[in-house]
Amino acid sequence: MFTKRTDIRNVAIIAHVDHGKTTLVDGMLRQAHIFRDNQQVVERVMDSNDLERERGITILSKNTAISIWDAKTEQQVKINIVDTPGHADFGGEVERVMNMVDGVLLLVDAAEGPMPQTRFVLKKALEMGHKAIVVINKVDRRDAEPDRVLNQTFDLFIELGATDEQADFPVIYARATGGQAGLTPELSDNLEPLFDAILRHIPAPEVDLEAPLRVLVTSLGYDDYRGVTALGRIYSGGIKVNQPLARIKLDGTIVPEQARYLYIHQGLGKVEVEEAQAGEIIALAGLEEIAIGETLADPDDPQALPPIHVEEPTVRMTFGVNTSPFAGREGRWGTSRKLRDRLFEELRSNVSLRVAETETKDTFLVSGRGELHLAILIETMRREGYEFQVSRPEVIFHEDEAGNTLEPFEEVHIETSSETTGTVVEMLGMRRGRMVDMHETSDGNVHMVYIVPTRGLLGFRYQFLTATRGMGVMNTIFNGYDKMVGPITSRATGSLVAWEPGVTVNYGLKNAEERGSLFYGPGVEVYEGMVVGEYSRPGDLTINVCKKKHLTNMRQSNRDIEVRLTPPRQMSLDESIEYLAEDDLLEVTPVAIRIRKRILNTEDRGKLVKKAKELEET
């Protein structure tokens, strides 16, 4: 028999990157008195991962819970809040947490309006039948236009196929940084209107407390003392500590388990409890082999819940053992066995990732949802002490029933100044982009919407930022697969490649600087085949950056000291991945990131280029 648990609400907060989602959660936690009055709390407290703080984005979905008093029903209501990533590359996180909640808060910037990644997450929520509360944030911005944004949001709901009930959404206006909300742009001093909207409009979970236990595992964590922690929602029945369980694996086999340690969320932490009932989000520790998508059920009546469906990856890279001359110097883990174990371990918690072994035992094919998705994995592994090398990202092609090759396309939203619009249009045209919309924004900028092959966007972001002098804004979302378009030239420049091993010196670098921009200054150890800069022309140029000037007298020696070099271009991990050419590899260690050629020997590389030209001519 189904009953409503009016003492619980399960809600996810979804928004585009930098629209204030994590800041709003901070305000909700403060006003629910989760922190002590004298407690020092960092900003964006939910972004607990170092990478999240550095990049200012949410990568992993996280759970928290607050309790507020409902005057209407005269009871304390617990609100389980899930903070979701706003970037489409981490859509796998969003797709699985939608199974845990009954409604969503859709956060929209009062000036920018609904953005591409808002569309992606909202579509998933509407498909699951969730009710949404629209929160128009940053109403204090100088260029805020709440009425226009509200109309755009309504249009988006209709476009995504929302039902009449879903399209009749309540609207809350807010300023997350000040912890203020209101039913109109005239805000109150607190978030009470938002809390009240959650209680009135997010449905209470409908559960069957008498039915057999069923829990769907939606994410995994790790406890230093109690091992793997499985997070999920109880769909029916109840669970007690030490209760026997049946773990239904993805292939349908049943494994006996036991509920050793049981937790529920309260504030930013977890509280150990003896039992929990349907409708609650719980964490179970001590289940070592459990995987996302599996069901924990009553052993007397084991019934599996529908598994979590996650969209397929669109981009892949090879991860291999480091083969450079510097291999083994800087990393803690570098063998193929360690690399393999780490990549396959990642699959347990990263549901949208795929790892496949190749013909060579020291190379693995890793597929993800985008360049950023794979870059975060690479950065995480290097911080853990791993040393390895990766290839240039490439798109994953499909084939239709008629035998046509299909490739992934992305919807690209660009906002730039009118002065740089022509340059951006030309760049996207070269990359086979098709313009869908173009209009002038209220602040005088130009907003463009393109459909571009994912292949054309690989390595584009850095060139785009350079062309727009860092002022352009670009957001992308997966659009679907379509017939493959023609060839795309990704880079018009080549690389400056080190001729011999040694330490860079001023004299050698000055000669190299005349031919392009450098990645390294003097006093850096390099090896043959290592990329030390970007050549200003197509093709690669081998150059000796370790060449010293032969000194004959003191005057020439002093003059050499006066050599002035342009500061080298500091390449981040993301920029290095974008820069890679077909015949490049990226050496990744905890200490450094180095771009290198697949074939390090200059003579062997030259023979291969010559052979390729001969084949083209014939």
Known binding residues for GTP: 18-23, 137-140
Collapsing DSSP to helix, strand or coil, 615 comes out as helix
> Could you give the CA distance from residue 204 to residue 376 in angstroms, rounded to a whole number?
36
First to last CA, the chain: 76
163 CA to centre of own chain:
30
Could you tell me which residues come within 8 angstroms of residue 156 by beta carbon, excluding any fewer than 6 positions away?
114, 118, 119, 122
Nearest 5°: phi and psi at 328?
85, -5
Smallest CA-to-CA distance from 88 within 63, 116, 109, 57 is with: 116
Collapsing DSSP to helix, strand or coil, 431 comes out as coil
Taking a C-beta distance cutoff of 8 angstroms, is the pair 421, 414 a contact?
no
Instruction: Count the helix, strand and coil residues of the chain and give each as a percent rounded to the nearest 5.
Output: 25, 35, 40
> Could you give the CA distance from residue 322 to residue 390 in angstroms, rounded to a whole number?
9
Using alpha carbons only, how large is the chain's radius of gyration in Å?
27
Q: Supply 296's token pair.
A: 């924990």
Taking a C-beta distance cutoff of 8 angstroms, is the pair 374, 292 a contact?
no
Q: Return the H-helix or E-strand segment holding 611.
A: helix 602-617
Question: Which residue positions form the known binding site?
Answer: 18-23, 137-140
Neighbours of 525 (CB within 10 A): 15
Q: Supply 511's token pair.
A: 């000669």
Tokens 């002035």 belong to residue: 564
Smallest CA-to-CA distance from 290 within 265, 312, 259, 263 is with: 259
Taking a C-beta distance cutoff of 8 angstroms, is the pair 348, 227 a contact?
no
SS3 per-residue string spanning 518-542: ECCCCCCEECCCEEEEEECCCCCEE
